[in-house]
Amino acid sequence: MTNWQADKKWSDKFIPEIKQILGLHLIGEPPIEEDQQRNTDLVVLKMEAVRIGCRMRKHEYHKTYPNDITIRAGRPSGMKTELTKIIEGWGDYFFYGFEGEDGISILAWTLGDLNVFRLWFNREIIRLKGNVPGNLKENKDKSSSFLTFQKNNLPTDFIIGEKP
């Protein structure tokens, strides 16, 4: 099994809980006129496909990095990473969570708007005269590298929901 497959298998166990959280933030109640005139009790914020990237981290990282958001920036295989896909314009939202102590629940999470992130990221590259924002870190096992961002350094409108 490749590192990507192992990572995906581990994180996919959180998908049911992530879907519940996203429902609370991406489905809303319409104005009363919608219910009265159009048989509408709930609305999804968009009618076209909404793409949500999800990244889960092991429980122990929450103690050390509770205010970080990391995005995979490189793999030795050269496979396209989350950062590349985001910068290319893919994804509407980014769900970033930490595994609970029990290994099956989500302890803390952040839901971010990737359109806000992309605009900020590109402006930061200009402001930093071509340098990429964030701190580049490599996994201990050399399986991938990440850019880390402090939540308080990201635009305030990036975070649209969170459980710290």
Quick one: pLDDT at residue 134? 97
Quick one: pLDDT at residue 121? 98
- Is residue 88 domain-resident? yes
- Is residue 81 domain-resident? yes
Q: Which domain holds residue 114?
A: 49-163
Quick one: pLDDT at residue 83? 96
Task: Give dist(CA 115, CA 101) in Å, integer.
Answer: 32
- Is residue 66 domain-resident? yes
| Number of domains within the chain | 1
Closest C-alpha among 86, 84, 59 to residue 158: 86
Quick one: pLDDT at residue 46? 63
Task: Give dist(CA 81, CA 137) in Å, integer.
Answer: 14
- Is residue 14 domain-resident? no
- Is residue 82 domain-resident? yes
Quick one: pLDDT at residue 73? 96
Quick one: pLDDT at residue 40? 87
- Residue ranges of the chain with pLDDT lower than 50? none
| Pairing between β-strand 159-163 and β-strand 106-113 as defined by DSSP bridges | antiparallel
**CB count, 10 Å around CB of 20?**
10
- Is residue 57 domain-resident? yes
Quick one: pLDDT at residue 1? 65
Closest C-alpha among 15, 24, 22 to residue 105: 15
- Is residue 33 domain-resident? no
Quick one: pLDDT at residue 7? 84
- Is residue 34 domain-resident? no
